Structure 1
């Protein structure tokens, strides 16, 4: 097998492991899942599983980052769509953030165990996530400044403040309280309230 083929095979195996681990975390929870069980789901030995991930925490982090990458792709597509004004982009960003959080957790509450582990034990992952969200929000706000829609003195500070105001739509533990249409409507309403403070005064 060539080096390229071996690398592709290893990546396929890693993806398969992540698929199996995520399915188990969603069904049984992070706390009750073991590396041996995940190895069994992936039809490999535990020793082989440890060749790819040092421990369950690293496997959980890899699952979470893969899931969050899907969110970032969706949000980046919204942010960099050229035919929307900054105000409309901000509303779409907020609604997508709420939709993604709801769709990933509302009906599978056991995945929240993984979220709680990361929040308590892996602050580096939390910082990584926050910085990427801040960066995307800053892009929207800077574009609004450039177009004259917004009048923001400190875009970075404003992006962090906007992100803080969207915390409800990122709290996985609360998603079961809302039907998706209600949550999306709340996200749009919050975004429109934020816009009142950002828009240029005539």
Structure 2
């Protein structure tokens, strides 16, 4: 069975038009990424992007139906990198408890690296979550699918208990992942993030293991 990647786990971002693979689309996303990082998402209009790229506003609308759609594409690019790392860990040939523990560390490390070394990107991710953009929902659903995969394999291997509902258990685990990747929470408690991620994963794993 082929191992899924972020591209197969997460659907394409909403609001895109035209062919999925197109040089102009990539050019618009790259230019918009740079523009948003410099001026901020809220202060930028589609007309601003068009002027910066040297295209007409109408031409940009051939590929994206709104500024939000461009923002979702940028978020998808960033969150896709994080999800790819989690996917590699989740499908590694190792005990399930080791994989789950590493997933906590990975999502904390990658979120800190990508959200907080660039304030403007952090702001876009915050907007995506606060406004319930589809890309944020898709990312959370994709992470849950990876957790379900790891915990199900752990149960099959006899590592984890099997008395509780698999979905309810994994949904609860996914909620604890928010503690180490949610942009607002990380902003308030960034110091010692990886150590805290390890402590949370240890607590969760104690609850998952067979008694």
Give the TM interval when normalised to the shorter protein: 0.7 to 0.9
| CA contact 1:53–1:59 (8 Å) conserved in 2 | yes
Residue matched to 1:47: 58
How many positions carry a matched residue from both structures?
192
Residue matched to 1:102: 112
Residue matched to 1:190: 200
- When structure 1 is superposed on structure 2, of 116-125 and 189-198 the one drifting more is 116-125
| CA contact 2:144–2:174 (8 Å) conserved in 1 | yes
* Equivalent of residue 128 in structure 1, options 122, 138, 143: 138
Confirm or deny that 1:64 pairs with 2:75: yes
More helix by share: 1
| CA contact 1:105–1:175 (8 Å) conserved in 2 | no
Residue matched to 1:3: none
Shift of 1:149: 0.8
| CA contact 1:134–1:160 (8 Å) conserved in 2 | yes
Matches within 5 A, 1:47-196: 47-82=58-93, 84-152=94-162, 153-176=164-187, 177-179=189-191, 182-196=192-206
Runs of 5+ unmatched residues, structure 2? 1-18
Output one character per residue of 1:132-171: Cα deviation in whole Å (capped at 9) or x when no partner.
1111001110111011110032211111101111222122
- TM-score, normalized by length of structure 1? 0.85
- Two-structure CA RMSD over aligned residues (Å): 2.1
- TM-score, normalized by length of structure 2? 0.82
Structure with max Cα Rg: 1
Shift of 1:123: 4.8
SS at match of 1:200: coil
- When structure 1 is superposed on structure 2, of 106-115 and 184-193 the one drifting more is 106-115
| CA contact 2:126–2:184 (8 Å) conserved in 1 | no
Confirm or deny that 1:199 pairs with 2:209: yes
